[in-house]
Amino acid sequence: MLSPKDYYILAFDTTDSVMAAEACLKEHFHITIMPVPREISTGCGLAIRFLDPDEAAILAFLNSSSLDGTLYRMNTQKIGGRHPIERIR
């Protein structure tokens, strides 16, 4: 279950992938581009954050698209000095 402090991040290996995904996703979701959190290791320094997350809708869209990002669920509260994060897809 998603708590009010959880949100979803889509991380990519290249900046080109982030830009292409933004163009596609902004037609379907309320999103923003953000720096990749240090808890996530990718080749690109940018990620897409879903502002009004609906995990089922996000997963359905990603599974039907050719976007190659990795989806994470992240919490805004730090535990042990780190943000809890879970790889979803």
Q: What is residue 64's DSSP assignment?
A: T
Average pLDDT over the chain reads 89
Per DSSP (E only), the strands in the chain are: 6-11, 31-35, 46-50, 70-75, 85-87
Q: Look at residue 59 and give its three-state secondary structure.
A: helix
Tokens 């990002």 map to which residue? 69
Q: Look at residue 84 and give its three-state secondary structure.
A: coil
pLDDT of 9 strictly over 90: yes
Query: For the chain, how big is the Rg over CA atoms in Å?
Result: 12
Please report which confidence band the pLDDT of residue 38 belongs to, taking 50, 70 and 90 as the band edges: confident
Q: pLDDT (tens digit, 9 = 90+) per residue, 39-57?
A: 887 678 899 999 988 999 9
| This prediction's pTM | 0.87
